């Protein structure tokens, strides 16, 4: 597995921490998923009563890498400010950078994303940019100092899976040495497995687990899916054919008269 800013993850599953029915279910889901990374959305909390500290304590006790994100930020200034707050609270240089450009689809504002990524890398952050599968944008993010790319599979929380397979394949082919993570849109274990089969290095998901009827069982299913997809990619799967090909050779077949 490729390294993420010098870190080798134990598993290629990154899991979000929002929308779970309870803190206990969140903890159990992480345990059964064997996720290596927990993403956390930072919100401004009251400095007087330290609200939210209980949640931060739960996250730290998961014993995984913490990846704070700038979810809900629509401007460069907002994203950069949120990232600095996250570094102070979680004591990590990692940041999942989101600069949202469209309210309905939550599509990244790639212009603001590149600008914010450049600012944050210069400030010493290790940036995980939530982006599209656009090759030009990917090049500019790498030029800005990013060493990881996180293209979306589909709109956040939609559960649609991988909407642009050709785009994702092209991104993987053009950047074979860059760690790539499919982020957003994963709804089923088959979606996660497919992303790994394409040669991606990890998947990041949240809603598919947190909003499932049984989040713990779904987390387990996702763990199995990413493991299977990763193994399939390593096995170098066969290419699809346009026509049938017999699995039993014709040579040596008995002919009846």
Active-site residue numbers? 96
Count of alpha carbons within 13 angstroms of residue 249, beta-carbon side: 2
Structure tokens at 212: 């499932």
Q: 242: which residues sit within 8 A by CB, 6+ positions away? A: none
Q: In what order do the strands lie in the sheet containing 181-183?
A: 150-151, 126-131, 94-97, 65-69, 37-41, 13-16, 202-205, 181-183
Q: What is the CA radius of gyration of the chain?
A: 20
Q: How far is CA 44 from CA 74, 80, 178, in A?
A: 16, 14, 33
Assess contact for 36 and 226: CB atoms under 8 A.
Answer: no
**Cα angle vertex 63, ends 60, 65, to 5°?**
85
Assess contact for 215 and 209: CB atoms under 8 A.
Answer: yes
Assess contact for 68 and 40: CB atoms under 8 A.
Answer: yes
Does an H or E element contain 26, and which? Answer: helix 23-33
């Amino acid at each position: 597995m490729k390294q993420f800013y010098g870190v080798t993850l134990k598993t290629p599953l990154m899991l979000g921490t929002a929308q779970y029915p309870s803190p206990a279910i969140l903890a159990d889901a992480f345990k059964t998923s064997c996720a290596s990374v927990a993403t956390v959305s930072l919100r401004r909390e009251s400095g007087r009563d330290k609200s939210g500290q209980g949640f931060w304590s739960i996250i730290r006790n998961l014993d995984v890498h913490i990846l704070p994100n700038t979810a809900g930020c629509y401007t460069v200034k907002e994203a950069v400010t949120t990232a600095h707050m996250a570094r102070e609270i979680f004591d990590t240089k990692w940041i999942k950078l989101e600069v949202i450009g469209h309210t309905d689809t939550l599509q990244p504002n790639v212009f603001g994303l590149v600008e914010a990524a450049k600012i944050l890398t210069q400030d010493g952050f290790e940036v995980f940019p939530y982006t599209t599968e656009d090759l030009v944008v990917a090049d500019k993010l790498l030029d800005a100092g990013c060493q990881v790319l996180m293209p979306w599979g589909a709109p956040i929380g939609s559960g649609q899976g991988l909407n642009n397979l050709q785009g994702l394949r092209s991104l993987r082919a053009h950047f074979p040495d860059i760690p790539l993570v499919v982020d957003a849109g994963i709804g089923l274990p088959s979606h996660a497995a497919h992303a790994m089969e394409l040669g991606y290095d990890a998947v990041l998901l949240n809603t598919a687990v947190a909003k499932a009827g049984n989040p713990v069982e779904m987390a387990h299913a996702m763990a199995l899916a990413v493991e299977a997809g990763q193994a399939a990619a390593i096995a170098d799967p066969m290419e699809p054919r346009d026509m049938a090909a017999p699995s039993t050779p014709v040579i040596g077949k008995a002919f009846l008269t």
